[in-house]
Every structure is written in structure tokens, then in C-alpha cells.
Structure 1
Amino acid sequence: MQTLQIKDLHVAVKDEDTQKEKEILTGVNLTVHTGEVHAIMGPNGTGKSTLSETIMGNPHYHVTQGDIILNGASLLTQSVDQRARAGLFLAMQYPAEIKGITNMAFLRAAINARRPADQPLAISSFLAQLDQALALLNMKSDLAERYLNEGFSGGERKRNEILQLLMIKPTFAILDELDSGLDIDALQVVSKGVNHMQGPDFGTLMITHYKRILKYIQPDQVHVMMGGRIVKTGDAALADRLEDEGYAGLRDELGIDVDLVDAEV
């Protein structure tokens, strides 16, 4: 069993207008083991995407206190590349378009970066795995030859993120708003890909606003973030409650002074 631990994490971001740092995360504590699915829910502006970017090492986010620990070792001094090689993966909310690099070339490079330099994955094995993953996600084979996300629809970009997940086979996947912009058919397909990865050697941290993705990727634990920290943890029934009552009821019950109409961070 491997463990990803977020310990008393405080994170600040520089405000572009004032050039002063604004604290977004105010003490996040969370432990995810392989073999588990965790979901983080919460209103706009509570820091969910800030958490995912910070775990992955985006230098835009400044850790002012706390730690991110993978199997007992701190990741704070490690680059994005080092964290990816260590087994972390981020499916981004808004996948970037990169011209000049094909999907196939990107995937081969990412896979081989995690292997010994003198032991690259054989091209025959790579192509066989790629064909299986494309079929699982109902993706056309010619997408592998296209430049990374160039001209892709929103749904195609999200499927492409899960294609990368299936091929790279990380230890922990952070899925940031995987369900945003997807119709029901596309949601079912990408969920199928994530569920295909589930097992004792893989852990999932999903970030979402809504319950609908939890119908397809069932969580072991649901965490609610408000005001930059986790304020309540429960099982899937907690998501049902939020669907019925919204976040305001839980906010008032816990006596938390937060505005629920802030823009997403």
C-alpha cells in the first residue's frame, strides 16, 4: 500500500492586481491510500483546483505551511516532472493544446521517462497497449497521430486525459473537474477508463462540484471543502445530502463564515 498525505497545507497565490499574496488553502489535511477513491466537493472559490495544482507542484502556488508527503517523503522541493516520475498524475480541468507533438510521441516519452534509460518500452508493446486504451475509450485510432489536443472538442480533451492515465499508469491520479463540460455519454466513457485503473496499486482523488460523476466512479470517502480547508468527511451519503440541500445548509450547520458565490480559484 502506498500513501499520499496532505498535512496542514496552507497555500497562497499572488494577486495580479495588488501583487500581494492571498491565502487560498488554510490548513488542508487529507490521506489517500492506494486502493481508495476519494472525492473532494465544495462551492466555487474554496480552493479545490488550488489543491490539485499544488499537489502536482505548479510553481504559481506558494506553500506557506504544511507538507505534501508521498510514502513518507516530502514532495515540496520536487519539480512537477519529479512528482510525475514518482507516480502522481493530474487530469487537468482545462487540458492544454500543444502543437507539434503528437499524442503518440507524447505518450511514448511520458512512459519511457519513468523507465530506466536503457529499457524503453518496446514499440510493439506500446502500440498494443495504445490500441486497447483507445478501444476502451471509444476513441478513433487517428487521434494518436494528431497533435496533442489540437482541434479537440472539450469531450475529446477529457478522453485524452484518461487515455494518458491508462497508458502512463500512475500510482495516484488527481482528477480535477473531470466531469465539467461532458455530456452523459462522454461522462460514462471517461468514468469507464478511470474504473479500469482501480485496484490495490492505484489511488484516486476526484475534485468535483456535482454528484453525477460519483454515480459512475463510486467514492470510499467524500470530503467537503469550504474556506480553504476540509470541513466534513463522510461516505457517499454525504454527496447525496449536498445534492439535496446544497452547501449553504452545511455551512450554517458548522458555523462557517464563507461566501458561497466567489469565483473559482
Structure 2
Amino acid sequence: MSTLEIKNLHVSVETNEGPKPILKGADLTIGSGEIHAIMGPNGSGKSTLAYAVAGHPKYTITDGEVLLDGENIVDMTADERARAGLFLAMQYPVEVPGVTVSNFLRTAKTALTGEAPALRHWVGDVKDAMGKLRMDPDFAQRDVNHGFSGGEKKRHEILQMELLKPKFAVLDETDSGLDVDALRVVSDGVNRVHAETGLGVMLITHYTRILNYIKPDHVHVFVEGRVAAQGGPELADQLEAEGYDKYASAKV
């Protein structure tokens, strides 16, 4: 049983006008096998939370803790956090021309485990995972995200997650830019990894449509850089019907 604890997290981002505080005391705890949906209006700090937890250097943690199995990872680099068991699926995955998907995946796996996976077994694992995500085998020889459609980029993110097997995954608006078919395939991938490995999930989204496929155990309303309310899956339906205005000045 693993636990990811975010305690009183304050985060600033550098702007042309100087540091701007975004997170203002965020608190959240996720256990193995739990799915937590983070919902909130634009500009509330949801993506900042994702990148700060993952270790993006643009985001400066000014106070608070991020504990993974009791160890504070705030001073770890992004790659150290990944080796500790964190995974970030980005809202806008970057292109890496000149690096094939195949080479990228095997290099990432080697970096995480400290040992290159046996090639024959690895090729089989990659092919199997791609098949489950309905990805053409030729996809492995394409450059990472270069010329990919939105759906292809998001499937590639879930492919990474399935092969790297983290303890916790932060999914930053994985549903954005997906049509219904791609949303179903991506959601099935998340559910599969969750069921097979006990993955803990922080699912950041604006809309309830992905929650029709990935059922959350807990829903958190994120407003003005902190958790303003939390509850069960029914809270998402309430947000869909009523919006976020009533939480604008709320705190928990």
C-alpha cells in the first residue's frame, strides 16, 4: 500500500512581472488503487498542481510537502520522482523529433529500473500494450509525438504509463482533444492499469464525460489554488449541473 500526500502546498510560477503565487495551501491524499478526480474552473491551479507534484522546474514550491510513502520528494528532480513511482500524462505532450517511440520507451524503462529490459520480452510487451490501445505497430518507429494527432498523443501517454508501471499517475486533462472512440480507448487503458497494478490516479478534468468511463472514488473541487470542497462521485454531477461559482470563496 502506497500513499501520495500533498500537504499545505504553495506554488509560484515565474512571470514577466515576477513570481506569481498559484497554489495557496492545497491538501490531498491518494492511496494505492484510488482514483481522485480534480475538477475546477480555468485558472484555478489544477495543472500547476500536476506539474509541481511531478517536479517541473518552472514551478517553485514555496511551502508545504509532497510525501510519497512518507518521504518528502519536494527537493527531488523530475527524474528522481519518476524513479520513486510518479508519472505525469501531460495535457500537451511535447514533440521529440529524431527519437523514435520504440527507443524512447526502452530508454525510459531503463532509466527507471537501472537495467535495460530483455529485448525479446520488451518487444512483446510493447506490441501487446499497443494492441490493447488500438495503435498500429508501425507507430513504434515514428518520432515521439511528431505529427501525431491529439488522440495519438494521448494514447502514447497511456502506453508509457502501462509499460513503466508507476505507483501514482497524474493525468492532466487526458480527455482534452479526444473524440468519443479515442476517449473510450484511453479510459480503458487507465482502467486496465489501475486494475492490474493498483495504480493510484489523480485525474484532472473540466468535464464529467471522462468520468463516465473512469469512475472516481473521490471528487475534489479546486478553486483559487486550493481544495474548496470534496465528496464522492455524485459531486461531479452536481458540478456539471451547477458550476463552480458557489465554491469561489470556500475553503476546507
Match of 2:95 in 1: 97
Number of aligned residues: 250
Q: CA deviation at 1:114?
A: 2.0
Question: Which of 191, 195, 198 is the equivalent residue of 1:195?
Answer: 191
Match of 2:218 in 1: 221
Matched, 1:166 2:140: no
For residues 198-222 of structure 1, the C-alpha deviation after alignment (integer angstroms, 9 at most, x for no partner) is 1363111000001010000000000
Match of 1:181 in 2: 177
Unaligned 5+ segments in structure 2 are none
Secondary structure of residue in 2 paired with 1:62: strand
Unaligned 5+ segments in structure 1 are 258-265
Q: CA deviation at 1:152?
A: 0.4
For residues 87-122 of structure 1, the C-alpha deviation after alignment (integer angstroms, 9 at most, x for no partner) is 1000000000001110000100111112244xx211
Matched, 1:37 2:35: yes
Match of 1:61 in 2: 59
For residues 28-75 of structure 1, the C-alpha deviation after alignment (integer angstroms, 9 at most, x for no partner) is 000001110001000000000000000000111111110111011111
Match of 1:263 in 2: none
CA contact under 8 A between 1:2 and 1:201: conserved in structure 2? no
Superposition RMSD on alpha carbons, in Å?
A: 1.2
Secondary structure of residue in 2 paired with 1:114: helix
Matched, 1:243 2:240: yes
Secondary structure of residue in 1 paired with 2:134: coil
CA contact under 8 A between 2:229 and 2:250: conserved in structure 1? no
Give TM-score, length-normalised by structure 1: 0.92
- What letter is aligned with 1:90? L
CA contact under 8 A between 1:11 and 1:63: conserved in structure 2? yes
Secondary structure of residue in 1 paired with 2:157: helix
For residues 113-149 of structure 1, the C-alpha deviation after alignment (integer angstroms, 9 at most, x for no partner) is 12244xx211111111111111111100001001101
Q: Distance in 1 between matches of 2:113 and 2:12?
A: 34
